[in-house]
Amino acid sequence: MASEITYAEVKFKNESPAPVVKGPPETKKPEQHPQKYPLWLPWLISLLLLLVCIALVVVLLVVPFCHSSDQPSALQQQFSEWECDSAVPQGTDRGWMCCPKGWRRFEGSCYFLSTDMMNCAESARNCTGMGSHLVVITSEAEQKFLTELKNQDVPRMNLYIGLFEVGVDQWQWVDKTPYNVNATFWKSNEPSDGHTENCTVMHVPEETLNNWNDVVPTAKHHRICEAAAATV
């Protein structure tokens, strides 16, 4: 017969109680309050954005014309609407050439072909009043461009150009460009003898490049004005 095992709980008087482990004191988190902005702040931000937009418009549209030359040309002062294309003029770092709306550009110049008629002196004054002058033709390429352009938009018979007889057989361009007899485009048997026909027109019906004709200054004709294109 197996002996019975008895278990007994024994307590010792000098036994110390089990140590109590305490964690670090709990820190109290500060109360978070929602951040409040002044009511006027959104209005201030909107105003600043508006000012930035205005500044961009000025930089993109106004400043280029201001920097196209040291001073705005007379043509730029006369017209507010311009048309530009991306032809880059040789020798410059600017990428656009601009003419007033309704004018035509060829190389570095803008040209205006009138729809009304005036006499020779009135035509010259009209071009000057627009910040330009009666056209000065110095190359065959320019003469060809104007010859192809002259009868577009409205029917025309003659167009004043900026060539005048200032003495006997002495012709002079309005801008003082030297007159080169080898770079002229007179019709056959022109200019006429005599000294009453001292203004020059481009004769529209002529089918060749040689279409210049001298006329009396009192005759009323259309005109071609020319001015330097603005580069931006």
From CA 122, how far away is CA 125, in angstroms rounded? 5
Q: In 3-state terms, what secondary structure has residue 228?
A: strand
pLDDT digits (tens, 9 = 90+) for 173-208: 999 999 999 999 999 999 988 779 999 999 999 989
User: Of 139, 85, 147, whose CA–CA distance to 113 is shortest?
Assistant: 147
Report whether 113 contacts 159 (CB < 8 A): yes
pLDDT per residue, tens digit, the chain (232 aa), is 444 544 444 444 445 555 554 555 555 555 555 556 677 677 788 888 888 878 765 544 544 444 444 455 778 777 888 899 876 545 555 578 899 999 999 999 999 999 999 999 999 999 999 999 999 999 999 999 999 988 777 889 999 999 999 988 899 999 999 999 999 999 999 998 877 999 999 999 998 999 999 999 999 999 999 999 998 7
Model pTM? 0.67
Among the four given CATH numbers 2.40.160.20, 2.40.50.100, 3.10.100.10, 3.60.10.10, the one describing domain 65-231:
3.10.100.10
CA distance 203 to 147: 9
Q: Domain ranges in the chain? A: 65-231
Neighbours of 192 (CB within 10 A): 13
